[in-house]
A = this chain, B = another copy of it.
Amino acid sequence: MLHFASDNWAGAHPAITKSLATHASGYSKPYSDDELDKAVERRFGEIFERDVAVFYVATGTAANSLALSLVGKPGGIVLAHREAHIVVDECGAPEFLSGQLRIATVDGAEGKIDPGRLRKKVESMDGDVHAGRANAISITQATEAGTVYSLEEIDAIAAIAKDFGLPLHMDGARFANALVSLKCTPAEMTWKRGIDMLSFGATKNGCWCAEAVVLFDKTKASDFPYIRKRAAQLFSKSRFISAQFDAYFRDALWLELAHIANTIAADIASAITQTKSGRLIRKPQSNEVFVVFPKSLVASLNEKDVVFYEWPTPANFEIAKDEQLCRFVASFHTTREDVAELSKLLEDWQGQK
């Protein structure tokens, strides 16, 4: 089988698992209160060039939901892209766990919020008590469309957040992939741009389960421990998360793994282009490739045990009846051999047409 379904189909990098073994014995304080926990929090601070508050949670959905809960107000509405994970993939967890927030969607090409539309939308929300009020903005980096906001694009969103006094959240489930793509520092991609809260995901990039909420203003973090605990997201043996992050950050492993995934994704795109087997929706900027394939090719790949997702066609997207939008995802675990094999299957199909 060839696996391109999702980066969460891969397991954990050996260094991550090894770190768990290293830290397994002996005693440590539970609930994020041990030396290792604190060392990892300091490590986050070094990485972000700033004293930050770090809170582990169980899932990316939890990170998003609880980060938004922290700033949620009665009648509050979060602005997000219509394809955002918090909109389409979290079963209402942000609304449920915040106890109050709703989400309004804003369109934009390439999975990114269009700043013009965002500003117009926020302006139209005049705080009328019947309609509710704008409460926060959430962007996804890298996006669900496999694209990456440029620093200037983040600036444009952040300017609106600032103008209207709205906290700005970044869903960083694929943070490392975006970072490697932009070739900038974590600080440059976040708080230096105006990001207030970050969902920092490492699970998709080689960890077992390592998700954290990072708050860039520690003075505003005092409610968060209660928000996390009442949502049943406070791990007792927190060192099992710390051990993962410890290895993840060591020797820049995290960047290396994201680099692999991004590079392989580019290779997949090249293979498709070279074999002329489908049309890429866009040049991949992170580790996801979206391509329109003939349905006959899809059937052929399925038959050959190539695993990938057939993707729902977005609104206003032109597609022929005998075509299918597909998503291929590369992970740290995907190899050049996998791509070579895929490439061969594409070529074979071209030959047999």
Report which A residues bind B (CB closer than 8 A).
Answer: 1, 3, 5-6, 8-14, 16-18, 20-21, 23-31, 57-62, 65-66, 69, 73-77, 88-93, 95-97, 99-100, 102, 129-133, 203-204, 208-209, 223, 225-227, 229-237, 239-240, 307, 333
Partner of A28, one of B9, B16, B23: B9
> Is the beta-carbon distance between B9 and A24 smaller than 8 angstroms?
no
CB distance from A233 to the nearest CB of B (A): 6
> Is the beta-carbon distance between A232 and B62 smaller than 8 angstroms?
yes
**Apart from the given pairs A58-B232, A91-B132, 18 other A-B contacts in the complex at a CB distance below 8 Å:** A11-B27, A12-B24, A12-B240, A17-B24, A24-B208, A73-B223, A74-B230, A75-B229, A88-B130, A90-B230, A91-B131, A92-B100, A93-B230, A132-B230, A204-B236, A209-B235, A231-B231, A231-B232
> Is the beta-carbon distance between B102 and A203 smaller than 8 angstroms?
no
> Is the beta-carbon distance between B89 and A130 smaller than 8 angstroms?
yes
Q: If the complex has contacts A14-B24, A90-B130, A95-B102, are A59 and B237 also in contact, measured as CB distance less than 8 A?
A: no
Residues in B with CB closer than 8 Å to A66 are 232
Residues in B with CB closer than 8 Å to A307 are 27
> Is the beta-carbon distance between A236 and B27 smaller than 8 angstroms?
no
Residues in B with CB closer than 8 Å to A88 are 130-131
Partner of A25, one of B11, B29, B69: B11
Residues in B with CB closer than 8 Å to A229 are 61, 75, 90-91, 93, 129-130
A2 to B59, CA, bound (A): 34
> Is the beta-carbon distance between A30 and B9 smaller than 8 angstroms?
yes
A12 to B23, CA, bound (A): 9
9 residue pairs A–B, Cβ–Cβ below 8 Å:
A11-B23, A12-B20, A14-B25, A24-B208, A59-B232, A90-B229, A91-B131, A92-B100, A97-B231
Partner of A233, one of B130, B203, B232, B236: B232
CB distance from A228 to the nearest CB of B (A): 8
